[in-house]
Structure 1
Amino acid sequence: MTCRGAPANRHADAIGRYRVRWVRAVVVVLFVCVAATGCVRFPAPPSPPPVAFGVQPTPPGAETDAAREPAPNSETCDATASLRPGPMPVPAQMPQRTTMADILGRGRLIVGLDIGSNLFSFRDPLTGDVQGFDVDIARAIAQAIFDDPNTIEYRVLSSAERTQALIDHSVDVVVKTMSITCDRVDDVAFSSPYYIASQRILSTRTSGIDGPAALAGKRVCSARGATSIGRIQAIQPRARMVTTTTWADCLVMMQQGQVDATTTDDAILAGLAEQDPWVQLVGPSLGEEYYGVGIPKGQDDMVRFVNGVLNELRVSGRWQQMYDHWLSILGPGNGPPQPVYRD
């Protein structure tokens, strides 16, 4: 017995067979057309947009509309003047009852830095090694104490954690793009400057931001604890500050369109720009920053020792080699900063 639905099913089967034959015919025509004449033209993909990735959540710890901070003022004190280095001891033979002897006895130099400041301190994705300009400074200090640059224990710190880590002696030194300021010398000691940076602005190429005037009403990112926050707030009071834990977070937020610009020292921004061709440094210098090695307050012997290490890097030409290797993207530079001693 034939069921009532059979004719409808046969009709549907016929339609299905027709569609299969039509699709096969189109495929054959397309294949012949491409093989014979190359006549099929697919539109070129559009240029990648400034937003490099899909929208993602705001990085953990990011804070919008950060409170106003005082602008750094290095003119109220002679912050960059340090202690004159003494005679350098033989490596692995530190004078007794000195900070360096204690470090030698422990068997490692504990260095505070981060691993998200490209060019200065970052983890190589292939080898896993921590490297960069700041890392080379730390390795030179370890070399002078142990006669081995690898005797280092790294402690990863955010910008906001640097001073406290020195106060509570959880690190021996901080080598993390740490600017020498009058506020900070109340709490910690510094070496003589080993690098001079200029604060700049990083923006996307299509943002229209070309200087501090264009930041009015814009969201501007900076790492928490950086002196760049107070300076940009003083220069452009209408900027809306967004603070994060790391500079890498600022780059991610720019890529996601969550902030309009980032501001800090040109060397750090250059490291971010190397990771994304859609961003660029813009505008004039907003002020100079003198980087120093942070040392716990009261350890004058360690200050003199580190200054001796920095002096050897300058006179030997090693500082310039480090600059050429890590920071040549900033141009030829002006050579190492010359120290000023207060004694």
Structure 2
Amino acid sequence: MALACALAATLLPLAQHKAELTVKLPAGHPYRPGAARAQPSTDEKDEKCEDPEAGLRPSGADGPAVDRIKKRGYLIAGVDQNSYRWGYRNPATGKLEGFDIDLVTAIAEDILGADAKVVYRAIPTDQRIPALQQRKVDIIARTMTINCDRIEQVAFSTAYFQAGQQVLVPKGSSVTAFNDTLRGKRVCTAAGSTGEAELKKRSRGAKVTTVPNQLDCLVRLQLGEVDAVITDNALAAGQAAQDPSVTLVGEPFTEEPYGVAMNLEDEDLVRRVNKVLEDYRESGAWMKAYKRWLAADLKGIAGPPAPKYRTD
């Protein structure tokens, strides 16, 4: 499936319930290979949650959720507009661009065809789950980690990217990793993020500040209001690309598999998105998007994570 070379985006605030504007889509973990696997970022897995990444088998069949989108005539997607390389507004063009935006394009075109339309809504990190539960959006494609807590609240596609929590600091900082060098330091993370969950479990003696969006942490770091940021290294790599005065330190200390999130009741949509992802991987579209958006900052990734499916 062809991906758009340019995307004219319409972005609506989360609080706006009625979709008023649409956009026509034109046609057209960073992990080191062989590295040891980090510990999962969720609580200890029990018998009820042995593998949160295992998703529903893919299917191209329509159902209530897909029919609802087709009848409406457009897809409503919750995205970020501040995550460089993932979902951000290009200041030169005013358009939304990034790895997640390309994926939304592919989903919309599969459901609605080449003339697909999308309404984008900017969703703060801690509002991703409520937005789906309240049906303000059909999908969330916003570097959202699949974990045991979240699969009880929303449904996920199979993983489309593998990231990990890491520490971002100014160059020359005494902080060396997610370790005791954080003791007494001011640390920023986004509310509702897996970074916040990790710091609640083990703060390393840091003084923790939370903000609505991860980019707010970078601003506070630049202003000297915090000493370090805890976030996914996929996001942090983009922030370091924006600001060469900051750098990632240490190693990733969690696993963060990103999935497209949907309402728990929309099983047919979950299966449809998994079918899109299956095609996206096999057609080479995933690698094309990776090379375009991420390869410069996240080197050494040979391909997408392999999908996992439930046995039932």
Q: TM-score, normalised by structure 1?
A: 0.75
| Match 2:57 to one of 84, 103, 121 | 84
| Match 2:234 to one of 258, 267, 280 | 267
Query: How many angstroms does 1:118 deviate by?
Result: 0.9
Deviation per CA, 1:301-342: give whole Å up to 9, x if none: 011000000000111111011111111111021411111111
TM-aligned CA distance change 1:98 to 1:273, over 3 Å? same
2:236 partner amino acid: L
Q: What's 2:81 paired with? A: 115
Q: Give distance in 2, aligned partners of 1:149 and 1:290.
A: 31
Q: What's 1:135 paired with? A: 101
- Identity within the alignment, %: 41
Q: What's 2:308 paired with? A: 340
Q: Is the 8 A contact 1:218 1:240 kept in 2?
A: yes
Which stretch has the larger CA shift, 331-340 or 165-174?
331-340
Which 4+ stretches in 1 moved above 4 angstroms?
A: none
TM-aligned CA distance change 1:219 to 1:279, over 3 Å? same
Which stretch has the larger CA shift, 172-181 or 233-242?
233-242
Tell me, what secondary structure is at the counterpart of 1:269? helix
Matches within 5 A, 1:73-222: 73=43, 75-76=45-46, 77=49, 78-86=51-59, 88=60, 95=62, 97-148=63-114, 151-212=117-178, 213-222=180-189
Higher relative contact order (CA 8 A, sep 6+): 2
Deviation per CA, 1:70-107: give whole Å up to 9, x if none: x6226331211100012x36xxxxx4x53112101111
For structure 1, list consecutive stretches of 5 or more residues without a partner in the other structure.
Answer: 1-70, 90-94
Max Rg structure: 1
RMSD over aligned Cα atoms:
1.4
Tell me, what secondary structure is at the counterpart of 1:263? strand
Q: Give distance in 1, aligned partners of 2:149 and 2:201.
A: 17
Q: What's 1:12 paired with? A: none
Q: TM-score, normalised by structure 2?
A: 0.82
Q: Give distance in 2, aligned partners of 1:132 and 1:321.
A: 12
Q: Is the 8 A contact 1:196 1:290 kept in 2?
A: yes
1:320 partner amino acid: M
Q: Give distance in 2, aligned partners of 1:297 and 1:148.
A: 28
2:191 partner amino acid: R
Which stretch has the larger CA shift, 292-301 or 236-245?
236-245
1:331 correspondence with 2:304:
no
Matches within 5 A, 1:64-75: 72-73=42-43, 75=45
Q: Is the 8 A contact 1:114 1:122 kept in 2?
A: yes
Q: Is the 8 A contact 1:313 1:319 kept in 2?
A: yes
